[in-house]
A and B are shown apart, each in its own frame.
Chain A
Amino acid sequence: MNFIDVLSLGQTTLELGLICSLTVLALFLSYTMLNVCDLSTDGCFTLGASVGAIVAISGHPYLAIVAAMAAGVCSGFITALLQTKMGVDSLLAGIIVNTGLYSVNIAVMNGSSLLNMNKTVTIFTKMKALLSGTFLSGQYVLIVSLLAVALVVAFLTFFLRTKLGLAIRATGNNPDMVKSSSIDPVFTTIVGLCVANSFTALSGCLLSQSQKSTDINIGTGMVTIALASLLIGNAFMGRGSILKRAIGVVLGAIVFRVVYAIALRLQMPAFMLKLVSSVIVILAISGPYLKKQYPIIKRVMQGRMASKASDKAAKEDK
C-alpha cells in the first residue's frame, strides 16, 4: 500500500467517522444526558437516509436535509410518547419503534429496499460544484461533514446550557429531584428525544447521500457502533465542559473508525464490524463494573481457599 492509498483511506475513515459522530452526538444527548437508552436509533438512522434520499431524488437537495431531520423528530416524539405517556418501558419503546420503522422506511422508499442516487443532486454534489477549481475540490464530503458536526456540536453546547438543556440534564441526572421540582419530566424527555433523533436522522441522511445509495440496512447495528464510539469518547474526555465532552465524543467516533480501518488492513473481514463494536461496548460497560467487583471476588476466593486449607488440616488432624 503506497502513501496515496493510505491518505485516501485515512480520508474516507475520517469522513465516515465524522458523519457517524452525529449519531454519537445524538446518543450523547439521549444516553449520557437524558439517561435514556434509545434503541430506535437504527431505524431512525435509516429513516433519515430514506426520507433524505426520496426528497433529494425528487429534486430538493436542501429540503432533503430538513425533511430527514423532521422525520427524526417525529420518530423521537413517538418513542418518547410511548415511554412517558403510554406506560411502555423505555427500552421496549425504542425496540417497538425500531421494528415499526422498518416498514415505514420501505414504504418511504416506494417499496424498494435500495435507492440509487448516482445522478441525484445532493448537498455533497452542490458542495463539489462550489469547490471545483479550488484546492479543496476533492474534499467536498469532508467539508460538508465537518460543517454538520461543527453545527451540531455548537448547537449542543449552547442548548445544554440553556434552562431547557439544564432541565433535560437534571431529568437524566436525578429523577428524584425532578419529580419534586417544577420540571415536567414528560416534557424534557420528549424534547430531548426529538432533538437527539433529529441528529440521528441527519447522520443517516448524510451517510446515504455521501455513498450515493440508500439501503434498508444502512442503519443496522448503528446503536451499538455509536455506543462504542460514545464510550471511547467518554474515556478520553468524560469530564469537563460540555464542549470538551462533545468534542471527545466526536473523537471517539473517529477513533472507532480508525481502529476498525486498521483491523480491516490487518485482514479482518468487513463483516466483523458489528462484533467488534459489541465487544467494545461490553468492555466499556462491564470493565468498570468488574473492576469494582474485583475486591469482592478476590475476598471470596481467598475465603474459599482458606476454608479449604483449614478443612484439609482438620482432616489430617483426625
Chain B
Amino acid sequence: MLTVENLSKTFHPGTVDEKKALNQISFHLKKGDFVTIIGSNGAGKSTLFNAICGDFMTDEGRILLDGQDITFKPSHVRSRDIGRLFQDPMRGSAPGMSIEENLALAAGNGGWFSGIKKSDREKFREQLALLDMGLENRMKQPVGLLSGGQRQALTLMMATLTVPKLLILDEHTAALDPATADKVLRITKEVVAKHNITTLMVTHNMQNALELGNRTFMMDSGHIVLDIQGEERSKLGVADLLERFRLGAGKNLDNDRILLS
C-alpha cells in the first residue's frame, strides 16, 4: 500500500544548522498494516510523516501510495488519500464552525456547491454516536466549545469519514489526560480495524507501541534502526524493546515524553 524508497531530507543544507533529518529511509507497508513508531526526540518521526504528507519537498527518494507515485504531488492532493492527526487537538478542526460543518467539509462528497443534506446529517449523527461522547446531540454547536479529547475524537472521525488509504497519527493522544487518551486510542483501534486502514502511528507509550498494530519501527537520527513484526514482536516486552533499541541505535532511548508502562 505504501512504499517509501531511499527517502532523505536535510534541513538547512550547507549551513551550521545543517540537519539530516531523514537518512535513506526505505520500507514497504501492506494493506492493513498498522505500524507503531517509537524513537528519541528529534529522531525524525514527525519529519517522516511530514514528508509522506507533502509538507516539504524531499531531497531524494520516492513515495508510492497504492501504486501511485506521490513524491511530487502537492499536499492538498495527497490529503485526499491520507488522513492525519497531530498531537495538538486544536489543529484538526475549525473552532468557529459547527461540528456538522466540520464533518461536511471532511466528508468531501458532492460538488463545490452542494450543501449539507438530511442524509448527510443522519450519517454524521450515527458516526458521532459511536464515539459515545454525546456529540451527536450537539451537531450545531461550534467545535470551539469541545474539550481537547472530544476534539481529537472528532478529528479522528473527520480523517476517516471517507476511508483513507493511509492514516497517519503523530502522538495524537499525547496531549490528552490518561483516561481520555485511552478512550481516543480505543476509538482509533476500532476505526482502523473496521475499515482495515493502513496506519502509521507515532507513540511515546512503549506499552501501546507493542500492544497496538502488527509492526513496530524504532527510529533514531533519521534511520529506522529496528523493524519488528510477527512472532518476534509478540514475544517482546517493554524492557526487551528498550534493550533492542539500545543495541540498534548504540544508545539509550531518550524521549522526554516517554511512558514505560
Contacts and interface: CB of A to CB of B under 8 A. Distances in A.
B97 A169 contact: yes
B112 A182 contact: no
Q: Which 3 A-B pairs have the closest CB atoms?
A: A182-B79, A173-B94, A164-B112
Interface of A: 158, 161-164, 166-167, 169-170, 173-174, 176-177, 179-185
A182 B101 contact: no
Nearest to A180: B84
The CB with the most chain B CB atoms within 10 A, among A164, A181, A185, is that of: A181
16 contacts: A161-B115, A162-B113, A163-B108, A163-B112, A163-B113, A166-B97, A170-B105, A173-B97, A174-B90, A177-B91, A177-B93, A180-B75, A180-B84, A180-B86, A181-B76, A182-B76
Interface residues of B, number: 31
Given A163-B105, A166-B104, A177 B92 contact: yes
A67 B94 CA distance: 36
A183 B111 CA distance: 13
Contacts of A174: 90-91, 93-95
A179 B75 contact: yes
Contacts of B61: none
Given A170-B97, A180-B79, A164 B113 contact: yes
B114 interface: yes
A176 B91 CA distance: 6
Interface of B: 53, 55, 74-77, 79-80, 84, 86, 90-97, 101-102, 104-106, 108, 110-116
A169 B94 CA distance: 8
Instruction: Determine chain A's interface SS by DSSP, over half rule.
Output: helix
Contacts of A179: 55, 75
Instruction: Determine chain B's interface SS by DSSP, over half rule.
Output: loop
Given A166-B101, A182-B79, A182-B80, A177 B94 contact: yes
Nearest to B158: A181
Contacts of A184: 74, 76
A163 B114 CA distance: 6
B108 A173 contact: no
Contacts of B94: 169-170, 173-174, 177
Contacts of A185: 76
A176 B54 CA distance: 14
Contacts of A166: 97, 101, 104-105
Contacts of A173: 94-97
A169 B100 CA distance: 14
Contacts of B97: 166, 169-170, 173
Contact of B108 (A158, A176, A182): A182
Given A170-B94, A170-B105, A162 B76 contact: no
Contacts of A169: 94, 96-97, 101
Contact of B104 (A158, A163, A177, A181): A163
B76 A183 contact: yes
A175 to B, nearest CB: 10
A166 B110 CA distance: 13
Contacts of A181: 76, 79, 105-106
